[in-house]
Structure 1
Amino acid sequence: MIEMKVAGIALEASTRSPIILLKDATDRRALPIYIGQDQAKAIISVLEGQTHPRPLTHDLMVNFLEAWEIEVEKVIIHSLQDNTFYAILVTKQGETRGENQSRPSDAIAIALRTNSPIWVMEEVVADASIPVDRDADEAERRAFREFISNLSPDELIQRGRFSSGEAQ
């Protein structure tokens, strides 16, 4: 799994649909997820530190979680099927753990309110992310190719033993 942070909300140019943008820690990959207008507003309100005279739906949910002493341990965006992302909220109440299915937008809105980490399965990142820093990606590929091309077969075998923990 890859931990990601909310980079912001954008509007898709042609449809004006909101997109939440998650980025990995290196800022090399971004995961765009289309969300609804209401969820976008709920996420923006947290990102901008807005307060409301009455709790919004996600605030109300967090209030219930706190009242019942349920901790949101993390959010996991675990799959992408037919262009739809799926997520779970991983919770803990005392020694009891739970997993609750959620739309990613709702899970992210709750995670932001509870300062919980957002994790994305590597397969989802591989399938749906977009490169942010193509130059860095290409430089890394070139450096790796150069490194490999300068290794003899014996060195490669020796390094393979060392990295796998075998005695030399």
Structure 2
Amino acid sequence: MIEMKVAGIALDAATRSPIVLLKDNSERRALPIYIGQDQARAIIGAIENQKPPRPLTHDLMANFLDEWDMVLEKVVVHALQDNTFYALLMIRQGDTKKEIDARPSDAIALALRTDSPIWVMEEVIADASIPVDRDADEAERQAFHDFVSNLRPEDFIQRGGSAGAESQ
């Protein structure tokens, strides 16, 4: 799993649909997740620390967790099937832990309100992320190519250890 942060909300240029954009800590990969207008407003409200006069749904959920001494330990975006992302809320109350199915947009809105980390499975990132820093990616590829190009057979010989054991 890779921890990610909310980079912001964007609009798809063609459809005008909102997208929540998650970025990894190195800011090398971004994961765009299409969401609804209401969830976009909820996420923006949390990012901007807006306090509505009355609790909205995600505020109510955060209040509920707090009042019942429950902790949202983390959100995990764990699957992508048929262009639909799936998330889990990892909740703890004392020694009891529960995993609750959630839409990623709702899970993210709640995580922002409770200062909980957002994690994404590597398979999901491999399938759906977009590169952010192509220059860094190319430099990494070139460094690996240079490393492999300079390998010699003797680099694979085990050094030290018990050489006498091989001759027995």
Please classify the TM superposition score into its range, dividing by the shorter chain length.
over 0.9
Structure 1 residues 100 and 144: CA distance shift in structure 2, 3 A: same
Partner of 1:53: helix, strand, or coil?
A: coil
Structure 2 residue identity aligned to 1:48: E
Match of 1:26 in 2: 26
Given the two structures, how large is their TM-score scaled by the length of structure 2? 0.93
Q: Aligned partners of 2:39 and 2:157: how far apart in 1?
A: 52
Match of 2:124 in 1: 124
Deviation per CA, 1:59-84, whole angstroms, max 9, x where unpaired? Answer: 00111111110100000000000000
Q: Aligned partners of 1:157 and 1:11: how far apart in 2?
A: 54
Structure 1 residues 167 and 49: CA distance shift in structure 2, 3 A: farther
Match of 2:94 in 1: 94
* Structure 1: gaps spanning 5 or more residues: none
* Paired-residue identity, %: 71
Q: Aligned partners of 2:37 and 2:73: how far apart in 1?
A: 26
Larger radius of gyration: 2
The 4+ residue runs of structure 1 with deviation greater than 2 A are none
Q: Aligned partners of 2:73 and 2:162: how far apart in 1?
A: 39
Match of 1:75 in 2: 75
Structure 1 residues 54 and 157: CA distance shift in structure 2, 3 A: farther
Match of 1:3 in 2: 3
Q: CA RMSD in A?
A: 1.7
Q: Aligned partners of 1:157 and 1:6: how far apart in 2?
A: 46
Distance apart, 1:167 and its partner CA: 8.3
**What are the equivalent positions in structure 2 for 1:123-162 lying under 5 Å apart?**
123-158=123-158
Distance apart, 1:156 and its partner CA: 3.6
Partner of 2:112: helix, strand, or coil?
A: helix
Deviation per CA, 1:14-53, whole angstroms, max 9, x where unpaired? Answer: 1110000000011000000000000000000011111110
Match of 1:52 in 2: 52
Structure 1 residues 140 and 156: CA distance shift in structure 2, 3 A: farther
